[in-house]
């Protein structure tokens, strides 16, 4: 053994292994999704291998060791700040992530303000019935400036100059998933109004309270906001805008001590797709606004199969949303939160594939995994004609 450590090459490998192990151990202890941890570990391993292969053993080990020294302090830890006296605002609390998150944060001891689209709806009533007196339900349609201002006034009255610790922009809509050419412009505008402009206006309104507390801004985006997915041109574009807004705000607000995180969940089962009655209405709206030549090229049968995508994502989505709740808790409570969280099966893997792989590789894999077997009528005619 002494001979091994007296050899420079052996010493370099030993130091590299120890430092790499320290990074992996901290990743293992990080609260959050295993997928993200595995992804980070794989990237660290690839970087280490590239260092050792591209350079001499000595300099490769030095470069990798230096990388570990720089990365280790910036990795998120498990130490969480106490919830006592911390007020948080969650939008979109009627159902889904926002509803479950409001209950979860209330149980943890936060003072929770939950914005709902309908303060007299079943979701709002359930929150009032099951949560503590610390939770307040606010009427908050994030596309209505008057309601945003009214919610701000009520929050200010209750926090009494202490500021707001965290704003969680969760409210969002999916719209009717379909080929981008088929989606009505009204659907594009509605997705942007709720998923992007609404979140921006709520953020701008409540930022003075966040700056006062040096708190947290957490925006709930989607895997579709960074990974191109068929049928989600309207939804994905609005979430991509929210993702970029979050990245810019993260840099600008750092000087105020406000930390910004973006949550990009994969496939989880919520009711963001809406009800069957809503699908019928959106489907009719889509058919009513199609140009005759587009209708002819795609065909009615193909268009009517678009709603199958909603059934598909609902059936294959994970009903356990606890990974999302844990990541949001980490984002608002950790001393050193991540800038990006990607809870969900394979969500971080797809993020890496879309970001680092050649486009042709991503397109092939995405088509194999998520592509639809149905073809528009115009393409079927071409195939039948042999063209």
Q: What pLDDT band is residue 305 in, cutting at 50, 70 and 90? A: confident
Cα separation, 306 vs 303, whole angstroms? 6
CATH of 87-370, one of 3.40.50.300, 3.40.640.10, 3.40.80.10, 3.40.50.720: 3.40.50.720
Query: What is the rounded distance in angstroms from the CA atom of residue 19 to the CA atom of residue 11?
Result: 12
What is the CB neighbour count within 10 angstroms for residue 133?
8
**Helix (H/G/I), strand (E/B), else coil: 219:** strand
| Residues recognised as catalytic | 235
pLDDT of 386 strictly over 60: no
* Residue 111 host element (H or E): strand 111-116
Is 135 in contact with 114 (CB distance < 8 Å)? yes
Q: Average pLDDT of 46-54?
A: 57
pLDDT at position 1 is 46
* 341-363: pLDDT as tens digits: 999 877 878 888 888 889 999 89
CA torsion through residues 179, 180, 185, 188, sign: positive
More confident call, 51 vs 191: 191
- Kindly report, residue by residue over 90-138, the tens digit of the pLDDT: 999 999 999 999 999 999 999 999 999 999 999 999 999 999 999 999 9
Residue 211 burial class via C-beta count within 10 angstroms: exposed 0-12, middle 13-18, buried 19 and up = middle
Across the beta sheet with 216-220, what order do the strands follow? 136-139, 111-116, 87-90, 166-169, 216-220, 259-263, 340-341
Q: At what angle do helices 96-108 and 322-333 cross, to 10 degrees?
A: 50
Distance between first and last Cα of the chain:
70
Q: What is the pLDDT of residues 216-267, one digit of tens each?
A: 999 999 998 999 988 999 999 999 999 999 999 999 999 999 999 999 998 8
Per residue in 270-301, pLDDT (tens digit) is: 777 667 788 888 888 888 989 999 999 998 88
Burial degree of 199 (CB within 10 A; 0-12, 13-18, 19+): buried
Choose among 357, 328, 354, 377: nearest CA to 32: 328
Give the torsion sign (CA, 47, 48, 51, 52): negative
Higher pLDDT, 77 or 343: 343
Residue 222 · residue 265 · CB < 8 Å: yes
In the chain, where the domains are located: 2-74, 87-370
Handedness of CA 256, 159, 154, 239 (dihedral sign): positive
Contacts 24+ apart (CB under 8 A), 242-249: 242/169, 242/195, 242/196, 242/199, 243/219, 245/196, 245/199, 245/200, 245/219, 246/217, 246/219, 246/221, 247/339, 249/203, 249/217
């Amino acid at each position: 053994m002494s001979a091994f450590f007296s050899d420079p090459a052996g010493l370099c490998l030993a130091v590299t292994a120890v430092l790499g192990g320290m990074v992996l151990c901290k990743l293992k202890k990080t609260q959050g999704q295993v997928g993200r941890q595995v992804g980070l570990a794989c990237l660290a391993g690839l970087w280490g291998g590239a260092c050792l292969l591209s350079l001499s053993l000595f300099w490769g080990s030095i470069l990798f060791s230096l990388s570990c020294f720089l990365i280790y302090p910036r990795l998120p830890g498990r130490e969480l700040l106490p919830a006592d006296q911390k007020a948080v605002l969650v939008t979109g609390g009627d159902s889904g992530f926002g509803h479950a998150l409001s209950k979860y944060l209330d149980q943890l001891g936060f003072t929770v303000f939950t914005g709902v689209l309908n303060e007299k709806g079943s979701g709002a009533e359930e929150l009032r019935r099951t949560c503590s007196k610390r939770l307040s339900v606010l009427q908050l349609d994030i596309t209505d400036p008057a309601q945003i201002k009214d919610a701000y006034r009520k929050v200010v009255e209750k926090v009494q100059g202490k500021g707001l610790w965290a704003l969680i922009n969760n409210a969002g809509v999916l719209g009717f998933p379909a080929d981008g050419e088929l989606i009505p412009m009204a659907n594009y505008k509605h997705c942007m109004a709720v998923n992007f402009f609404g979140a921006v206006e709520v953020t701008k309104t409540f930022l003075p309270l966040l700056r006062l507390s040096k708190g947290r801004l957490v925006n709930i985006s989607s895997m579709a906001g960074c990974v191109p997915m068929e049928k989600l041109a309207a939804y994905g574009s609005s979430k991509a805008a929210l993702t970029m807004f979050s990245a810019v705000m993260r840099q600008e607000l750092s000087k105020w001590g406000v930390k910004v995180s973006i949550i990009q969940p994969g496939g989880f089962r919520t009711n963001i797709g809406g009800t069957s009655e809503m699908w019928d209405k959106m489907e009719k709206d889509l058919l009513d606004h199609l140009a005759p030549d587009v209708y002819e090229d795609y065909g009615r049968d193909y268009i009517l199969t678009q709603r199958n995508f909603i059934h598909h994502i609902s059936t294959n989505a994970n009903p356990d949303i606890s990974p999302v709740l844990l990541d949001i808790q980490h984002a608002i409570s950790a001393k050193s939160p991540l800038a990006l969280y990607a809870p969900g099966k394979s969500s971080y893997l797809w993020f890496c594939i879309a970001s680092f792989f050649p486009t042709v590789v991503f397109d092939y894999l995405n088509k194999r995994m998520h592509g639809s077997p149905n073809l528009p009528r115009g393409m079927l005619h071409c195939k039948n004609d042999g063209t």
